[in-house]
Amino acid sequence: MIDSRADHGLRFGIEEEFFLLDATDLDIARTAPSGFLEACRAALGEHFAEEMFECQVEVASPVFADLAQAARFHGRARQRLAQLAAGFGLRALCVGTHPFADWRRARSNPAAHFARLFEDQGRVARRSLVCGLHVHVEIPASHDRMVVLQQVLPWLPLLLALSASSPFRGGRRSGLASYRRALCGEWPRMNIPPALPDEDAYRRHLALLRESGCIREDGQVWWMVRPSSHVPTLELRICDACPRLADALCLAGLFRALVGQALLAGDAPAGPAARDACLEENYWQAMRHGCAGRYLVDGRCVNARDWLERAWRQCHPQARQGNEWAYGHAQRLLEENSADRQLQRYQALRAEGRGRQAALRRLVEELLEENLQALPAI
């Protein structure tokens, strides 16, 4: 049960991305029907946004003080988006990759901002038909966001493992728990951030990238975690979109606790050489194996459950406050995350005698059901 009492922790926000599907065949929609985007803007206001493909949209939250507020907002937003989509012959699907969609069918958004992305990144952008979960946590002005970033960075593969929801690509098993992150790796500036010691160094780095023509704007630094370019937050970007809202809330709470611990600790992070040596391997383990990965932590090889327990024990009680439900839910996620569940259901459907395409379609139907699943009591 999520404690609805307002805690005194860090304020945060959540962004969820959705695929738009044709309701008849559950494949990605070629384009949004006339009037759909306008209806979404009217219903969701500033919290609704288009994405880089015409078959994608985003819901970005207001600022929350606790997980119960986030649950109420996103629960209603998911329901409202589903209702609006149904009225236009669509379905809205929140998941890392669509199990059987062909990325070559997706139409790029012609808006100028997105057109520049496709011009700059070419086929890399065209292939990136994926949906993510982003979490913003507010950082007080008295703290340096890059120092906080370097301290939470080593834990991020654990959050990816919990969130992994993209085991399929184009109707085939990808062999990865998070194929989305493999696609992200094709982009520049989208994986592990460099070991910049503070925000002054970060600003100098951005200036160099702009002056050299590598980026057009600061927002084109898309690391797995980054200082936001427009609000005073640290933005988590590593996670796959979560079919179950409860999983998204769990990840937001865990990230919030880790940021809170970093703010309380105020210690310098581990040296970059040691950090990168284990971080790269742990990132691969999470991408490939998800919660079944073997992780290098403090000179030992541990499983995801041990790593989660270490992370929680490390957090000061003040950092844990208001996030206890997230830790409890994460323990359950370790038993079966979305990638595990999708693979198991696909195998079961094939064993029942369904063909590959029929099994994949049924899998999409079940993911759509998960998107609107009732939350635990709040």
The architecture of the domain spanning 12-371 is 2-Layer Sandwich (3.30)
Binned average pLDDT, 10 residues per bin, the chain of 378 residues? 49 99 98 97 98 98 97 98 98 99 97 96 97 98 95 97 99 98 98 94 97 95 97 98 98 98 76 71 98 95 97 93 96 97 98 98 99 81
Q: Residue 57 CB: number of other CB atoms within 10 A?
A: 25
Q: What's the pLDDT score for residue 7? A: 40
Q: Between vectors from CA 256 to CA 254 and to CA 260, what angle results, nearest 5°? A: 115
Question: What's the length of the chain?
Answer: 378
Q: Residue 310 CB: number of other CB atoms within 10 A?
A: 16
Q: How far apart are CA 73 and CA 95, in angstroms?
A: 19
Q: What's the pLDDT score for residue 274? A: 56
Domain boundaries, the chain: 12-371
Q: What's the pLDDT score for residue 377? A: 63
Q: What's the pLDDT score for residue 3? A: 39
Give the number of C-alpha atoms closer than 13 A to the C-alpha of residue 204, restricted to the C-beta side: 7
Question: What pTM does this model have?
Answer: 0.95
Q: What's the pLDDT score for residue 277? A: 81
Q: How far apart are CA 190 and CA 125, in angstroms?
A: 12
Q: What's the pLDDT score for residue 308? A: 98
Q: What's the pLDDT score for residue 366? A: 99
Q: What's the pLDDT score for residue 273? A: 55
